[in-house]
Amino acid sequence: MNLIVVGASYRTTPIATLERLAVAPTDTGEVLRRLLAQPYVDAAVVLSTCNRVEVYAAVSGFHGGLADICAVLGERSASQPNDLAEHLYVHYGQAAVEHTFRVAAGLDSMVVGEAQILGQLRDAYHAANEADATGRLLHELMQQALRVGKRAHSETDIDRAGQSVVSAALRVGAESLPGGLIGRAVLVLGAGAMGALAVATLARLGVESIQVVNRRDDRAVRLAGTYGATAVPYAQLTTALAQVDLVISATASAEPVLTRDAVAQVLAGRPTDRTDPLVLLDLAVPRDVEPAAGTLPGVSVIDIDALASVLTDAPAAVDMAAVAQIVAAEVESFLSWMRGSDVAPTVAALRGRADEVVGAELRRLAGRRPDLTDEQRAEVAHTVHRVVQRLLHSPTVRVRQLAAEPGGDQYAALLRQLFDLEEPQTSTASDVPDLHGAPDPSQGPARSEADR
């Protein structure tokens, strides 16, 4: 088995495509089931956030695994795999490990260093665990990735950059309001993780008028009570919207919550003394705000696409090299573990072959020397097994050590050749030409016999 990451993010994919790919928490189990039903996918984790959808998988072949994952994503987004391919990136083997660790460290986030991605990755891993979808290789990758993310935040200054998508969006949204957020009334639509972060961020910034609206009023009441905000019943959403200057929307709705007509109704109900624009920060994928709402006079819609165009660089104050060094060291450590793990089937096969040979010789001895007592037979068997195990101990320990080094797979291959052992059912780095790049899915989604 080897690792593959197939994904789409704000860097490569229009938000309309991300919307179709997005996986709600309630749908994660079904998507994992579909992935595991594919012939080349052995394990999978699905990460779906406001700015990325990624499948981390253990696959038995590059082209077959890629085709299987693209087929599931294409089915989910109602897209043909070839049409979807132009928006996807693919990382395999070492590149998959490196990408996973960069994501966990916050290096690949829209807001470099944001810590929220670590919790989102942990949730995705837990969801896969609950669905019994991780397997050993992916389990180890996720555990190590979470450790890398913690190291990055505790051992470097990446937290200086790491605000959040919410705080970055507020910074952009404030630029559309004369005087910024001072004295403004803000409404948060949605009481999930992103909504909670929005309310906490607003409270930390000193915004005094914060209202919270959620389809489940009880959740809005709990969240508002935690930060001294005001909970508004969902039935009063339109009235509440007419009284605020800025809206942060982050629900899990599959359809727009604020359509153009709904926003037009809000504008009609605004007090005449509110002449500043109504700023709608849409942090949801799929989008909560219908794009056409942005064409209304006096309305400014800022969605993930808009944020991506202005949040491109890490702050100069952050020592990105220190974070990159942690990622590089952890990647090499994980690859060493993988190489050592890959040789284990060969070592087990060698010991199994030795047991077969010993067993055959003991049976032959029993046929030639029927006069031996049971005690004598047991003593001979014990002695022969002991000799074989002592002979195998040093070379098997040494091959494990050598296999953990770069290029170590050659030692396992040599061992198999010397003792005529069967090739283990694994996939190696040689299955794809360039592990450090991002192979184009359109170049090889079809299954090949070499992958079987």
Mean pLDDT of 6-24: 89
Catalytic site positions? 50
Q: How far apart are CA 235 and CA 233, in angstroms?
A: 5
Mean pLDDT, the chain, whole residue set: 85
* Distance in angstroms between the alpha carbons of the first and the last residue of the chain: 12
pTM of the full predicted structure?
Answer: 0.70
Question: 102: part of which helix (H) or strand (E)?
Answer: helix 94-105
Q: What are phi and psi of 244, to 5 degrees?
A: -115, 165
Q: What is the CATH number of domain 165-310?
A: 3.40.50.720
Question: Max alpha carbon distance in the chain (Å)?
Answer: 111
Give 77's Cβ-side CA count (13 Å radius).
Answer: 28
- The answer on pLDDT for 441 being more than 60 is no
3-state secondary structure of 147: helix
- The answer on pLDDT for 143 being more than 90 is yes
Q: Report pLDDT for 226.
A: 94
- The answer on pLDDT for 409 being more than 60 is yes
Mean pLDDT of 262-269: 92
Mean pLDDT of 276-286: 92
Whats the size of the chain, residue-wise?
452
Q: Report pLDDT for 346.
A: 78
Q: pLDDT band at 425, cuts 50/70/90? A: low
Q: What is the CATH number of domain 2-161+436-451?
A: 3.30.460.30
Mean pLDDT of 177-199: 91
Least confident of 59-63, 368-372, 420-424: 420-424
Q: Report pLDDT for 452.
A: 31
Q: Report pLDDT for 79.
A: 80
- The answer on pLDDT for 446 being more than 80 is no
- The answer on pLDDT for 424 being more than 70 is no
* Bridge partners, 210 (sequence order): 186
Q: Report pLDDT for 66.
A: 95
Least confident of 152-161, 201-210, 287-296, 371-380: 152-161
